[in-house]
Amino acid sequence: MLNRRTFLKTTAAALPMTAALGALDATVDAKPTFAAEEAAKPGRPAAKLRSLPERLKPVDESKLPWPQRVRRVGQSNMTEHDPAVMNVEEWADYWHSCGVDAVFVSVTGILGVYPSKVPFHKHGKFLKDRDFFGECAAAAKKRGMRVVARMSPDLNWEEALGTHPEWAMRSRDGSVQLSTEEPRLFKTCMFSSYMDDYMTAIIREINSLYDVDCFYMNGWPPIGICRIAIAPSAASCRQPERPAYWKVFNDRVFELWENTMPSQRKRKRTASFLRTRAENVHGGPNLDRLGKIAAWFQADNQGRTE
């Protein structure tokens, strides 16, 4: 059997190399190449070469929107205990030493890490009167880093249900869907006023107090499915295996993306970030439609189950 080593020793394998070396010598001597001689033979049409496209004009990166200039981003989600023990200056020094252009700073993380006045925006028990988010944002800005306000709209605490039962994502039987990691947390429904009123109230508050560059929506659009919030009279819209559901789902995603959330921004145009569900492109919004309006979006696949 002819193997690779034997083949390379044969004349058949040597011929292309010989031709290539001959062509190289011909170029050095400014003589016509073998290919040119062949093309010049009587009866042969002249070789037609395709012209190369024009070079792209140099891009002045200083004029690009800042999300297009970011090369490295830092993120370490804050815990409930961090306000009691974390040294903000050391935290900011660390990320600055890593050369990051932007850093994520938790706003909710399910618990508020600044003195929020929005009803049902629950504070961590270690926050006390400290403006932890404000300190982190100021320290990052002082070092020239962009600040991404990280929010978690996908969960809230059970005490909100007494006043706002419509905020909950529900199963087919109407029962509230609870977090599998913390049963005191319920999953929120993006088709309810929770997104239109509660989350935008937090955005307004953050914009009025701090100089942030954008908002990141963790866990949104939601991983779960609210079985009773969408078109109660149309059963097909409440079944995720049906195209009708995904049309309603996408329409709501883009309604929030383009209208509700951006309308609450202040001072400057910011870029919202969104996280698609864990299955990435298999379970998120219409990426073709999203790509036409989003400055930047993220897909998250943390691999927690497999």
The number of distinct structural domains making up the chain is 1
Residue at 214 is within a domain: yes
- Inter-CA distances, 233 with 168, 182, 230, 239, 250, Å: 19, 33, 9, 13, 19
Confidence of residue 246 (pLDDT cuts 50, 70, 90): confident
Residue at 25 is within a domain: no
pTM, full prediction: 0.73
| Between 103 and 259, residue with greater pLDDT | 103
| Between 22 and 74, residue with greater pLDDT | 74
Instruction: Count helices and strands (H / E) in the chain.
Output: 10, 8
Residue at 31 is within a domain: no
Taking the C-alpha atoms of residue 113 and residue 130, their distance in angstroms, rounded to an integer, is 8
Domain that holds residue 89: 65-154+193-299
Residue at 10 is within a domain: no
Q: Per-residue pLDDT tens for 33-49?
A: 555 555 556 666 777 78
Taking the C-alpha atoms of residue 134 and residue 113, their distance in angstroms, rounded to an integer, is 9
146 within 8 A of 154, measured Cβ to Cβ: no
Q: What is the pLDDT of residue 140?
A: 97
Residue at 272 is within a domain: yes
DSSP E strand stretches across the chain: 73-75, 102-106, 146-151, 155-157, 185-187, 214-217, 271-276, 298-299
* Residue 133: closest CA among 146, 118, 159, 115: 115
Q: What 8-state DSSP symbol labels residue 138?
A: H
Q: Per-residue pLDDT tens for 113-123?
A: 999 999 999 99
Confidence of residue 144 (pLDDT cuts 50, 70, 90): very high
Q: What is the pLDDT of residue 251?
A: 87
Give the CATH number for residue 229: 3.20.20
Residue at 185 is within a domain: no
Average pLDDT over residues 100-117: 91
The mean pLDDT of the chain is 78
Confidence of residue 3 (pLDDT cuts 50, 70, 90): low
Average pLDDT over residues 22-32: 49
> 21 pLDDT exceeds 50?
no
Q: How many CB atoms lie within 10 A of CB 14?
A: 11
Confidence of residue 28 (pLDDT cuts 50, 70, 90): very low
> 146 pLDDT exceeds 80?
yes
Q: Per-residue pLDDT tens for 147-188?
A: 999 988 889 999 999 999 999 998 888 899 999 889 999 999
Residue at 98 is within a domain: yes
Confidence of residue 88 (pLDDT cuts 50, 70, 90): very high
Residue at 138 is within a domain: yes
Confidence of residue 24 (pLDDT cuts 50, 70, 90): very low
